[in-house]
Structure 1
Amino acid sequence: MKDKAIDRVVLVSRSLLIFFSIFMLTLGIVFAWPFISIEDTPDGLKYTQTTTDNGVTLHVLQTKPDYITLLTINENVVRSGFPGINGGFFWEDQLLSIAVMDGVPVNGSVKEYGSGWFNTKYDRGTMVFDRITKKVDVQRVASAGDLTMTDETKFWAQGGVSMNLRDDNRWYQIAIDEEGLPFPGDNRLRSAMAYDTSGDIYLIVSSTKCTAKQFRTAIKSSVAAGKLQEGIFLDGDGSSQLLAGNVKLKGDSRTVVQMIAVNGEKR
Structure 2
Amino acid sequence: MRLSRSAHAGKLSVSKYLLTILLLAGFVLGTWAGLLLAARTPKSPAVLEHEPSYRYETYRASDGTLLHTMRTSPDRIHLLPIATNVTETKEYGINGGFFWNGDLLSIAVADDRPLKGEPHDYGSGWSNIDMPKGTLVWDKLAGRFSVQIVEAANQLRVSDRKQYWAQGGVSMSLPLGDQWRKQASAEDMPLMDERRRRSGAVYDKEGVVWLVVSDKAVTAAQFRQAILETVNPGKLEDGIFLDGDGSSQMRTEEVRLQGDRRAVYQMIAVIRPHSDR
Please list every run of 5 or more consecutive structure 2 residues that lacks an aligned counterpart in the other structure: 1-48
Determine if contact 1:41/1:245 at 8 Å carries over to the other structure. no
Please list every run of 5 or more consecutive structure 1 residues that lacks an aligned counterpart in the other structure: 1-39
Q: For residues 260 and 234 of structure 2, what CA distance do their matches in structure 1 show?
A: 31
Determine if contact 2:56/2:254 at 8 Å carries over to the other structure. no
Deviation readout 1:140-182 (Å, 9 max, x if unpaired): 0000010000111110000000011011121001101x10100
Counterpart among 135, 138, 152 of residue 129 in structure 1: 138
Determine if contact 1:131/1:155 at 8 Å carries over to the other structure. yes
Question: TM-score scaled to structure 1, two decimals?
Answer: 0.82
Q: For residues 94 and 129 of structure 2, what CA distance do their matches in structure 1 show?
A: 21
Determine if contact 1:42/1:262 at 8 Å carries over to the other structure. no
Q: What displacement does 1:42 show? A: 7.2
Q: Does 1:239 align with 2:247?
A: yes
What letter matches 2:201 in structure 1?
A: M
- 3-state SS in 1 of match to 2:222: helix
- The count of residues paired between Structure 1 and Structure 2 equals 225
Q: What displacement does 1:44 show? A: 2.5
Give runs of ≥4 in structure 1 deviating > 4 Å. Answer: none
User: Pairwise mapping of residues 111-190 of structure 1 onto structure 2 (< 5 A)?
Assistant: 111-176=120-185, 178-190=186-198
User: Pairwise mapping of residues 1-267 of structure 1 onto structure 2 (< 5 A)?
Assistant: 43-176=52-185, 178-264=186-272
Question: TM-score scaled to structure 2, two decimals?
Answer: 0.79
Q: For residues 221 and 259 of structure 1, what CA distance do their matches in structure 2 show?
A: 26
Deviation readout 1:71-105 (Å, 9 max, x if unpaired): 00111000012000000000011000000011110
Between Structure 1 and Structure 2, whose CA radius of gyration is higher?
2
What letter matches 1:252 in structure 2?
A: D
What letter matches 2:137 in structure 1?
A: V
Identical positions, percent: 45
Q: For residues 101 and 173 of structure 1, what CA distance do their matches in structure 2 show?
A: 29
Q: For residues 51 and 183 of structure 2, what CA distance do their matches in structure 1 show?
A: 36
